């Protein structure tokens, strides 16, 4: 992704024109907003990036005021772009393709439509649910990138920089331990670093060692693989209440007293990636790995059972 984006940026600068519209998708906390600022910086318009979100744009007039104030080459960043309402989304289409909008002035029989020409700009859209975007919206982005969870080495580099900025004295082993328990997410890594700093300040000598990190994360209820209390509660509900699954996400959310969006955005992506949970047409199921991690016996029957090689289907002889 970095190489592809670098080529697109270099080409746009050589042609002295704005970058094509960019769509960034991935779980929350992976740096979509930060990447938008990096793109603006690379294009030389760091002080001319306009930031808004899908839920904040309620009417076409809200979007109209933003678009008409953009200068040549400006960057417009819309977070949670999948939450734009249908009318606003369709109003945005000609602005993205032809850099013009048709705006209706007044209403009723005396109303009239005025065509406004816009300055060429770059729209960067960010979403945690790319599947909720319409095909018409996705196709209008020339550059589309998916952000995945980070490796521990990448998070370690981020934590080194964060520790330096926060003036924290931290050992390499302590930072690596934090990186490995940060769910592959920079936002989580920085949050845990601040919590461990607080613990070190109150209960230790202010220095972050491996022992201090271990004790601080135990208080935060973060286990060795980075799972928190909500992750373990999700798996326990599926195991205890729904016998390992399958169970619908609405049923799981109601049992846990959580919203569906919370589970789908904050819990499920990491559990799916780590292989603790699977999705089926009937619902969510836990895997053998989840039973082992929670220290529970693996049932002989049910979704967690691995079929024997000689298992045959209904119509097989």
pLDDT attached to residue 131: 86
Are the folds of 152-219 and 229-294 the same? no
CA separation for the pair 88, 103 (Å, rounded): 12
> Which of 129, 176, 187, 289 is flagged as catalytic?
187
The CATH number of 229-294 is which of 1.10.1040.10, 1.10.3720.10, 1.10.10.10, 1.10.10.1100? 1.10.10.10
pLDDT attached to residue 314: 41
Class for the domain spanning 2-146: alpha beta
> Does the annotation count 32 as an active-site position?
yes
> Which of 25, 32, 127, 228 is flagged as catalytic?
32
Domain ranges of the chain: 2-146, 152-219, 229-294
Contacts of 95 (CB under 8 A, 6+ apart): 67, 101, 118
Q: Where are the alpha helices (DSSP H) in 26-139?
A: 32-42, 60-67, 86-97, 135-138
DSSP-assigned beta bridge partners for residue 124? 22, 77
% of the chain residues with pLDDT over 70 = 92
> Does the annotation count 68 as an active-site position?
no
b/e per residue 7-41 (b: at least 16 CB within 10 A): ebbeebeeeeebbebbbbbbbebbbbeebbbebbe
In this prediction, residues 231-244 reach a mean pLDDT of 94
Evaluate if residue 310 carries a pLDDT over 60: no
CA separation for the pair 217, 229 (Å, rounded): 12
> Does the annotation count 98 as an active-site position?
no
Average pLDDT, the chain: 89
CA separation for the pair 66, 78 (Å, rounded): 11
Report the CATH fold assignment for 152-219: Helicase, Ruva Protein; domain 3 (1.10.8)
pLDDT attached to residue 130: 87
CA separation for the pair 55, 311 (Å, rounded): 50
Evaluate if residue 312 carries a pLDDT over 70: no
> Which of 60, 122, 127, 128 is flagged as catalytic?
128
pTM, two decimal places: 0.82
Q: Where are the beta strands (DSSP E) in 234-316?
A: 277-279, 284-286
In this prediction, residues 204-216 reach a mean pLDDT of 88
> Which of 33, 52, 241, 255 is flagged as catalytic?
33
> Which of 25, 60, 74, 79 is flagged as catalytic?
79
């Amino acid at each position: 992704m970095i190489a592809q984006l670098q080529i697109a940026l270099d080409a746009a600068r050589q042609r002295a024109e704005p970058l094509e519209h960019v769509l960034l998708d991935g779980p929350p906390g992976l740096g979509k907003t930060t990447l938008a600022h990096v793109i603006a910086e690379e294009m030389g318009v760091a002080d001319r990036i306009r930031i808004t979100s899908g839920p904040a744009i309620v009417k076409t007039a809200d979007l109209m005021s933003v678009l008409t104030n953009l200068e040549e080459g400006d960057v417009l960043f819309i977070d949670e772009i999948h939450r734009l309402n249908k009318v606003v989304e369709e109003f945005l289409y000609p602005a993205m393709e032809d850099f013009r909008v048709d705006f209706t002035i007044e209403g009723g029989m005396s109303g009239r439509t005025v065509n406004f020409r816009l300055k060429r700009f770059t729209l960067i859209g960010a979403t945690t649910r790319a599947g909720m975007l319409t095909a018409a919206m996705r196709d209008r982005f020339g550059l589309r990138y998916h952000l995945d969870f980070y490796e521990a080495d990448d998070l370690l580099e981020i934590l080194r920089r964060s520790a330096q900025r926060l003036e924290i004295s931290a050992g390499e082993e302590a930072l690596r331990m934090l990186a490995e328990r940060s769910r592959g997410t920079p936002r989580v890594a920085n949050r845990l670093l601040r919590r461990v700093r607080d613990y070190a300040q109150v209960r230790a000598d202010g220095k972050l060692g491996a022992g201090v990190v271990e004790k601080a994360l135990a208080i935060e209820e973060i286990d060795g693989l980075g799972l928190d209390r909500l992750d373990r509660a999700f798996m326990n509900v599926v195991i205890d209440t729904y016998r390992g699954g399958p169970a619908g996400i609405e049923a799981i959310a109601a049992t846990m007293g959580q919203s569906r969006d919370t589970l789908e955005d904050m819990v499920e992506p990491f559990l799916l990636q780590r292989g603790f949970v699977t999705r089926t047409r009937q619902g969510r199921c836990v895997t053998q790995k989840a039973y082992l991690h929670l220290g529970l016996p693996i049932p002989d029957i049910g979704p967690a059972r691995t079929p024997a090689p000689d298992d045959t289907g209904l119509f097989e002889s």
